[in-house]
Structure 1
Amino acid sequence: GVWTMPKDKPFDAADRTTWPTQYRQDLPTFANIPTKTAALYVQDDWQALPGLTINLGLRYDRQLGSFNEDVAGLLGRIGDVLGPQFASFPVANPFIDTSTRGDRNNVGPRVGVAWDPMNNGRMNIHAGYGMFYDNMRTLQNFGELTWPQARTIIISNPAYPDPLQGQSRDAFLTTAAPNITAYSNTLVNPYAHQFAAGVTRQFAGDFAITADVTSVWRYSDRDDIDINLPDQASRARPFPQFARVTFGGPTSNNYYKALLLKVDKRMSHHVQALVSYTLAKADDSALRNAVADVYGFVRTDSPSIADRRHRVVASGIVSLPGETQVSAILDLRSSLPFNPATTLDINNDGYTGDTPRGVAFRSGCRDLSLDAINTFRSSRGLAPVSDVACASFANLDLRLSKFFRIQDYRFEFIAQLFNVANRANFNTPITNPASVTFGGVNQLLPNINAPSRQVEFAIRFQF
């Protein structure tokens, strides 16, 4: 099982602030959801005038099987593998109506325009719009079929170290309503409206400057909410035959807009270079129950987890005598947001992970209220914090290439130096306001090329 502890301190029976806030236990599960995908598209380029090209397109996408359209058949597949007891639900599921499932109207138009006003190849004014449909990821659908196998146990404020209080797992489950998963019969393929426009202008022969704006409005991603929360006053559940009802619906949206500026120099006089800057903003709008000021699930607008406001990338290549080449790339990024969530159930809806009162969801390194954070910390006997570490990203890589030719063969000796400055690029800070070290950094960004300075040597042989 998994324990949720309120702070980074060992359990102390004499200190309630160290008692666990939740215990969860699941059994392994199996499911098999076969799918089919079909797509059709048509596209044409039309040169309306000299220097003016219009691109028109239309695409149709269809996924079959990705919406659990045949729940009975899918349960039968499970029963064939695990036994007939898993070929049907042990309790009737009133939320499923497979007759209305599936998404059949995924028609995506797109149009693009490119215009060279002087028709001399030195300027390009361009714009485009398209509608894009994403695939449904069937891994998310398994829960609707596998909850009878998982037989999930969730206990709020459990006893420690024996949350079942001496009972066996089976004995505990005989007196507890099941936790189930169901998905909306109106789930659709997430879709996005994408728009971009800009201008590129060549100057001084070797240089070009580009300015673009882009926007993406994405709709109908999946939210998982509990539609069976107990009434705040009576604590009665709308569906008393169940405990939690995790319900997936097409209610999550996100938005992205950006300004992109770029200056590049083509290879001439032994030098090639590029500098780009991106000013961007990414926001989410989803149903969440993680705000202490509100009971249950409400629509919450917040920065996206990948929201970086500023990014600068500069690169260059210099050709030296003796078939030698030196190149470099510099990458600078502003900080990511984080969610200052506790491991507590502050709003008493049965779910841990609430932000303190007065603290907005995912407001860390954005508009975080330190006053509200410190009010919460004071209630837990913790010292106030004066700031949080909003880590930026900076990295410089260098490469030296030396070419040798022997008859018709070509050898390249490569020496690369990654993270030249040996800079520690930290991840978002410690996010739990109940932690003594809240706001400090203690781990590097995952999946970065060189967490510390690295040297690499290689030989490439072309023949």
Structure 2
Amino acid sequence: LPPGTYEVRAELAGFVEHVRQGLTLTTGQEPRIDITLTVASVKETVTVTGATPLVDVTKNTIGTTITRRDLDSIPLVDRNFLSLANMTPGVTGVGGGSVNTAGQLSRNNSYLVDGVSNDDTIVSSSRGGFSLEAVREYIVLANQFTAEYGISSGAIISVVTRSGTNRNEGRVFFFDRDEHLDAQDPFSHAQGSGKAPFSQQRWGGFWGGPVARDRLFYFASYEGQHIDETSVVTSPLVPIDQREWPKPTNQHQGFVKFDNQVSSGHAVSGRYRIDRNLQIANGISGLNTHDRGSDSLTRDQDGVLSDTLVLSNRLLNELRFQASQRYNNIDTSLYSPVGTPDIRRPSGNFGKANNLPQWRRERRYQFVDNFSITRSNHDVKFGTDISMIRGFSFFPRTNDGQFMFSTDKPFDPADLSTYPIQYTVEHFNPYFDLPNELYAFFVQDSWRAGGGLTLNLGVRYDVETSYRKINGVPDDHDNVQPRLGFVWAPFKNTATAIRGGYGLYVDRSFLNVQLDVAAAQNSQTIVIQNPGYPDPFSRGTLGTVTPSATVIARKPTAPQTQSVSLGVQRELRPGLSASADGVYSRGQHLFNNRDLNYPLFPGGPRPDPSFGRIIQFGMEGNSWSTALLTNVQYRPQRGPSLGVSYTLSNALRDVEDFQYFAQDELNPGADKGPASNDRRHQIVVNFNWALPGGFQIAGLGSARSGLPWNVTTGVDSNLDTQTNDRPDLAVPDGNPLDKATYFANFTRRVGNLPRNANRGPTYFSLDMRLSKHVTLPKMKAELFAEAFNVTNFTNLGTPVGNLRSATFGQSTALAMNAAPRRIELGFRVNF
């Protein structure tokens, strides 16, 4: 059944007819409705109006459904519907629409829209956006999802789009914001420059209805936005009059969908979506100067066809097909032309970013077929998911060279302390063909074993071909993933459910990793220590230069996570429920880099003197996560609603991402420490309250403990060509923001300070919307004011950890996607 509100009717000759009204079904829900028929002396009907039970006694999945009511009432930063994913226990976002679960990265998530993938497989992210008006609802599955879902060790975000109905209806809306009502950015205030100019408008709407009543329906939406904002550079190396730069954005999103109810048991649907986003002057902020700017154009298009066929009251088949394309072009010609080197200093980054300019195109053809059988106490579902993906990319890496400085002092040819400490350059053909094929098969059985016990048993198998097709190494075929779960309702009233489970989850290899390896394997890489400047070869070091090499592990292993959970959920009273779950996750074979030609002691000769570094892209990283997830929901049929979730978690990793190198290759375990996205404590509150006089107030607030931050010496202390070395901890109880707490004046060894040993500033934000509903002839209008970060709490980013930087211990930018108080005015009209 599609999401919506339903009536359940049960009747049998000689018994009282029972009707249950007002049952709302949401995405992925399988509610249990208990009905008892009593003997009737005359014809009678019992009608009960009540909400859908809040306790699901059939599933052990940990997640949240974000309804259309939530999307319409709770203020959304930038109208990004993923902002509400943080309402899910266990989702510890680092800002905006970022979704992190179980210590994993946001790139470990998988995004589905109408049952097909919305993943960008090159960089492993969501493939563009949908207009908020096109979204009916979505679910966030944070843990213990069934075998139907895969290629993800993080969260599953599954979106259902809107459809037309027998009723013609539409909406238009407009939002406006400028700097006059906003609070000032603390960094521009500190520079005495006043409020930075800002202007933002968003507009659009939808229209839907029947083409042929009860048979054929249509729905279409459009959303546009124009933003004129200002980027602020905080590097002390840049003159004050060159620290603010305009940053305009233009985006257009279109969506159209047709649904055909061929018969009572046969439905066909088709949709098309386009998203075009042009961003000017990206990358300029914080320590990144104007040189590092770029203009980015992204265009997403996809078409989806689906066929749902009810073969009998026990058999159902779902067939889906998708064709999609993403194009992205990042141009630097207006900021730093091709040939400009990348220049890194402790307190500022100059020149062209070493991986720009670049462009890429990804095409996907996807086929999904799922078959469901209901027999006795078993609900069995099995299916296949096949994707044929072709990526094309221009990716220059460090073709134009990169200089690393350990000082902020201006270059002086007569002062050796102002020379760079390292120069890296690569020469290769930057054009790449990135083919990939994904094959998945699963079977899942929900077995009602009796005594209130439901067992969810499944197995999934995934395989991809990018390793063989791009880099010529064997693909990983050992990806059988068992999923075992249980739910026990010990009491007949089904108000309590004890749940738990175990699952093995395998990640795909996003193609950017394969691209990096392919580029390095076909390149000539030169690394020069203590080079000249601006000519790196001017100090007579050419004779000592040795080439580096990059290889991929001979037998790649897909990253995987094992997760186990145990919890309880209880409906305390109608509309009020509470839950608590303990979750442990263990990640293995995470992407990392290793130097196979690493010296046996710091500063010593390399085992193969004819090469410098021999970098192996491998899968040897690990993660550990332990979390307690608690949640209280009050959602009555009428009146105010409230949700509160608290997450206590501890996420550890010994690698951060696929380009990560250990401080000491001979002891990689020493890098085990807090994950960079580890939020030890997080509380999220959402509320929605209709007030007298047609007013309504709604909001979303979150408080999070600080993120970890790392301290480095700022130089290559152990002489391994990497500048990720950590210092010694000189004062165990010292101020972590004080350089005197650390000792870094050493060479040919590594320090004893653990990785990510410090914690950054806490995060707090409260977003609120006050709206006024006005009834007009044949239409309803809503006027509203939205305030984001109402209290104007300054959410600073993690401090600079480079001991050589003049800004060490200082936060030079706000936290990701954080901002001072913003106020937005708008209206929408429903007709």
Correspondences of 1:267-306 after superposition (within 5 Å): 267=636, 270-286=639-655, 291=663, 296=666, 298-299=668-669, 300-306=671-677
**243-252 or 195-204, larger mean C-alpha shift:** 195-204
Alignment match, 2:341: none
Map of 1:36 onto structure 2: 437
Partner SS state of residue 709, structure 2: coil
Shift of 1:403: 2.4
For the residues of structure 1 that align with 2:464 and 2:509, how far apart are their CA atoms? 8
State whether structure 2 residue 559 is matched by structure 1 residue 159: no
Deviations 1:413-444 (A, max 9, x none): 23211111112211100111222332122210
Alignment map for 1:83-232 (pairs within 5 Å): 98=473, 101-147=474-520, 150-165=523-538, 176-232=545-601
> Secondary structure of 2:513's match?
helix
C-alpha contact 2:451 2:490 (8 A) present in aligned 1 = no
**Corresponding position: 1:374 with 2:747:** no
- One-letter identity of the residue aligned with 1:374: Y
Figure out how many residues of one structure are paired with residues of the other and give that number: 416
C-alpha distance in structure 1 between counterparts of 2:471 and 2:700, whole Å: 52
Q: How does 1:13-32 map to 2 (within 5 A)?
A: 17-27=417-427, 29-32=430-433
C-alpha distance in 2 between matches for 1:285 and 1:262: 30
Aligned counterparts of 2:690 and 2:403: Cα–Cα separation in 1: 59
Would you say 1:7 and 2:407 are equivalent positions?
yes
How far did residue 216 of structure 1 move?
Answer: 1.4
Look up the SS of the partner of 1:322 in the other structure: helix
User: Which residue identity lines up with residue 258 of structure 1 in the other structure?
Assistant: A
Please state how far the C-alpha of 1:18 moved relative to its aligned partner.
4.0
Q: Does 1:454 align with 2:825?
A: no
Q: Does the aligned pair in 1 maintain the 2:585–2:625 contact within 8 Å?
A: yes
| Amino acid paired to 2:406 | P
Match of 2:769 in 1: 399
Evaluate the alpha carbon distance shift between residue 377 and residue 446 of structure 1 in structure 2; reply closer, same or farther with a 3 A threshold.
farther
CA-to-partner distance for each residue in 1:380-403, whole Å, 9 max, x for gaps? Answer: xxxxxxx98831100011112222
Q: Is the 8 A contact 1:295 1:349 kept in 2?
A: no
Match of 1:349 among 720, 723, 728: 720
1:258-269 maps to which residues of 2 (within 5 A)?
Answer: 258-267=627-636
Summarize the Cα distance change of 1:388–1:18 in structure 2 as closer, same or farther, 3 Å threshold. Answer: farther
CA distance in 2, matches of 1:234, 1:372: 26
Q: Deviations over 1:75-125 (max 9, x none)?
A: xxxxxxxxxxxxxxxxxxxxxxx4xx2111211111221111112132111
User: Structure 1 residues 233 and 311, CA, compared in 2 at 3 Å: closer, same or farther?
Assistant: closer
- Of residues 25-34 and 117-126 in structure 1, the stretch that sits farther from structure 2 once superposed is 25-34
Contact 1:356 1:372 survives alignment (8 Å): no
Whether the 8 Å contact between 2:766 and 2:791 is mirrored in structure 1 is yes
Aligned residues of 2:708 and 2:758 also touching (Cα < 8 A)? no
Verify the 8 A CA contact 2:578 2:632 in the aligned structure 1: yes
Aligned residue identity for 2:617 = G
CA contact (8 A) 2:482 2:504 kept: yes
Q: Distance between the aligned counterparts of 1:314 and 1:60, measured in 2? A: 38
Work out whether residues 622 and 655 of structure 2, in 8 Å CA contact, stay in contact via their aligned partners in 1: yes
Q: Is the 8 A contact 1:377 1:433 kept in 2?
A: no
> Residue 304 and residue 6 in structure 1: after superposition, are their counterparts in 2 closer, same or farther (change >3 A)?
same
Q: Which amino acid aligns with 1:318?
A: W
Q: Distance in 2 between matches of 1:416 and 1:236?
A: 62
Q: 1:267 to 1:325 in 2, by over 3 A?
A: farther
* SS of equivalent to 1:247: strand
1:70 Cα deviation after fit: 6.2
Can you give the 5+ residue segments of structure 1 that lack an aligned partner in the other structure? 73-97, 380-386
Q: Distance in 1 between matches of 2:562 and 2:617?
A: 23
Rounded Cα–Cα distance in structure 1 between residues aligned with 2:737 and 2:687:
42
SS at match of 1:145: helix
For residues 369 and 443 of structure 1, the distance between their equivalents in structure 2, rounded to whole angstroms, comes to 16
Q: Which moved more, 1:341-350 or 1:226-235?
A: 226-235
Q: Say yes or no: does 1:334 pair with 2:734.
A: no
CA offset digits 1:163-221 (Å, max 9, x no partner)? 11189xxx95x984322210111211111111222111222444322111112111101
Deviates more, 1:256-265 or 1:198-207: 198-207
Give the 3-state SS of the residue equivalent to 2:519 in structure 1: helix
Equivalent residues of 2:717, 2:746 under 8 A apart: no
1:235-259: CA deviation from partner (whole Å, max 9, x where unpaired): 4433344322110121001111111
Unmatched runs of 5 consecutive residues or more in structure 2: 1-400, 748-756
Q: Which residue of 2 aligns with 1:323?
A: 694
Quick one: distance in 2 between partners of 1:110 and 1:25?
Answer: 47
Alpha-carbon distance in structure 2 between the residues aligned to 1:290 and 1:161: 30
Distance 2:416 2:662 in 1: 22
Following TM superposition, by how much is the alpha carbon of 1:322 offset from its aligned partner in structure 2, in angstroms? 3.0
Residues 154 and 371 of structure 1: CA distance in aligned 2, closer, same or farther (over 3 Å): closer
CA pair 55-295 structure 1, distance change in 2 beyond 3 A: closer
The structure-2 alpha-carbon separation of the partners of 1:136 and 1:161, relative to structure 1 and needing over 3 Å to count, comes to: same
**Partners of 1:50 and 1:119 within 8 A in 2:** no
Aligned-partner SS, 1:108: strand
User: 2: CA distance between counterparts of 1:35 and 1:264?
Assistant: 43
Q: Distance in 2 between matches of 1:378 and 1:234?
A: 12
- The reply to whether residue 247 of structure 1 matches residue 620 of structure 2 is no
AA aligned to 1:23 is Y
CA distance in 2, matches of 1:176, 1:202: 69
- 1:339: Cα distance to partner? 1.3
Q: Within 5 Å, give how 1:304-319 maps onto structure 2.
A: 304-319=675-690
Q: Structure 1: how far apart are the matches of 2:760 and 2:603?
A: 43
Q: What SS class does the counterpart of residue 435 from structure 2 fall into?
A: coil
Give the residue type in structure 2 aligned to 1:32.
Answer: D
Residues 371 and 461 of structure 1, relative CA distance in 2, 3 Å threshold? closer
Tell me how far apart the structure 2 counterparts of residues 143 and 242 of structure 1 sit (CA, whole Å). 19
Give how far 1:343 is off.
2.4
Q: What letter matches 2:640 in structure 1?
A: V
Q: Which amino acid aligns with 1:260?
A: L
Cα root mean square deviation, aligned: 3.2
**SS state of the match for residue 34, structure 1?**
strand
Query: What's 1:409 paired with?
Result: 779
Corresponding position of 2:455: 54
Selected match of 2:446 from 32, 45, 70: 45
Q: Equivalent residue for 1:94?
A: none
Contact 2:713 2:744 in 1 (8 A): no
Determine the C-alpha separation between the residues in 2 that align with 1:375 and 1:346.
Answer: 12
Aligned to 1:431: 801
Cα separation, 1, equivalents of 2:603 and 2:415: 30
Q: TM-score normalized by structure 1?
A: 0.81
Cross-structure match for 2:789: 419
Stretch moving more, 191-200 or 259-268: 259-268
Contact 1:389–1:441 (Cα < 8 Å) also in 2: no
- Letter of the 2:727 partner, please give it: P
Are the structure 2 counterparts of residues 16 and 258 from structure 1 closer, same or farther at C-alpha, using a change threshold of 3 Å? farther
2:577 and 2:634 in contact (8 A); partners too? yes
1:333 touches 1:392 (CA, 8 Å); kept in 2? yes
